[in-house]
């Protein structure tokens, strides 16, 4: 794998063994131009009003910031209207960076879209905005903040499914039903929790709640962010695949074609 392929997976913090991209140790504060292939990341181009694969040039700017850490800058352009954004990647290596096949991890990713583009969501209406806010909070190392958005989505979609399915959200005395009880009823009828989380979906919600209410540290919240985000996205997609609900969901403004499409990493036009 070339380094550009790993960078193209941003904002995912992937780790992989890549081809050599430095011929010698890059000292702290020293720049070097590297040729590792073109970085390609999908964005919603605001000028084109469509999803495009923004691409870098053949050469990227690499800055040494530690014995096993480099900072990489790239300018990405829309292939149609040429709108440009900037991207920054912090790459950490398990071993020597100038080795023949170093194992590296994308530690941090930041983009400056300057109003030219937005990140591609999952097609779930207003939930896309909340998912992006959660991701941006996570990238800024705000663990509790990122979890607040995920919990908001989790609760809102469960309540929407309950309303569509005619499941009461209140008790007989008019008080609001505890969310855990409502989630259990909704899941029993419509199986919204993905199979991979079927044994711990409720536990993950409890962890979301603990973080939101200040019962966990920022470090713990950051560690739990990825599985909680995958759970939330899995629930959104499961709800969209429920044939009974497709008509009702369409009224909510969700893009069902995108929701049901597999995450293949295919390049946009």
The pLDDT value given to residue 123: 63
The pLDDT value given to residue 262: 36
Mean pLDDT across the stretch 134-151?
88
One DSSP character per residue, 152-177 reads HHHHHHHHHHHHHHT--SB-TTSPBP
The pLDDT value given to residue 88: 95
pLDDT band at 253 (very low <50, low <70, confident <90, very high): low
Task: Indicate if the alpha-carbon torsion angle 197, 198, 204, 205 is positive or negative.
Answer: positive
- Mean of the per-residue pLDDT values of the chain: 83
Instruction: Please state, in angstroms and rounded to a whole number, the distance separating the CA atoms of residues 120 and 110.
Output: 15
pLDDT band at 265 (very low <50, low <70, confident <90, very high): very low
Instruction: Please state, in angstroms and rounded to a whole number, the distance separating the CA atoms of residues 132 and 124.
Output: 12
The pLDDT value given to residue 264: 34
Output the six-digit token pair for 9. Answer: 């997976």
Which of 45-49, 225-229, 255-259 shows the lowest mean pLDDT across its residues?
255-259
Tally Cβ neighbours within 10 Å of residue 202: 15
Percent of the chain exceeding pLDDT 90 equals: 35
Which of 49-53, 77-81, 83-87, 186-190 shows the lowest mean pLDDT across its residues?
186-190
The pLDDT value given to residue 200: 60
Percent of the chain exceeding pLDDT 70 equals: 80
What are 87-129's pLDDT values in tens digits? 999 999 998 898 899 999 999 899 998 889 988 876 666 788 8
Greater confidence, 244 or 256? 244
Residue 77 pLDDT greater than 70, yes or no: yes
């Amino acid at each position: 794998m070339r380094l550009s392929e790993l960078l193209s997976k941003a904002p995912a913090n992937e780790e992989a063994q890549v081809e050599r991209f430095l011929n010698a140790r890059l000292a702290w504060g020293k720049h070097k131009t590297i040729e590792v292939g073109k970085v390609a990341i999908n964005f919603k181009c605001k000028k084109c009003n469509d999803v495009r694969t923004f691409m870098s040039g053949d050469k990227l700017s690499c800055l040494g910031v530690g014995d096993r850490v480099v900072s990489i800058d790239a300018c990405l352009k829309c292939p149609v209207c040429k709108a440009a954004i900037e991207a920054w990647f912090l790459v950490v290596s398990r071993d020597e960076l100038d080795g023949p096949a170093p194992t590296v991890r994308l530690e941090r990713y930041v983009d400056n879209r300057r109003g030219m583009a937005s990140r591609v969501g999952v097609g779930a209406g207003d939930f896309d905005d909340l998912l992006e806010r959660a991701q941006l909070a996570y990238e800024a190392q705000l663990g509790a903040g990122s979890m607040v958005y995920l919990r908001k989505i989790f609760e809102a979609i469960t309540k929407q499914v309950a309303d569509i399915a005619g499941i009461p959200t209140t008790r007989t005395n008019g008080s609001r039903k505890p969310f855990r009880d409502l989630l259990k009823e909704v899941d029993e009828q419509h199986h919204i929790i993905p199979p991979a989380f079927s044994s711990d979906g409720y536990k993950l919600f409890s962890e979301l709640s603990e973080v939101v209410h200040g019962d966990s540290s920022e470090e713990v919240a950051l560690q739990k962010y990825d599985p909680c985000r995958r759970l939330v996205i899995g629930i959104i997609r499961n709800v969209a695949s429920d044939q009974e609900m497709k008509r009702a969901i369409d009224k909510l403004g969700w893009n069902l074609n995108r929701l049901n499409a597999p995450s293949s990493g295919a390049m946009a036009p």
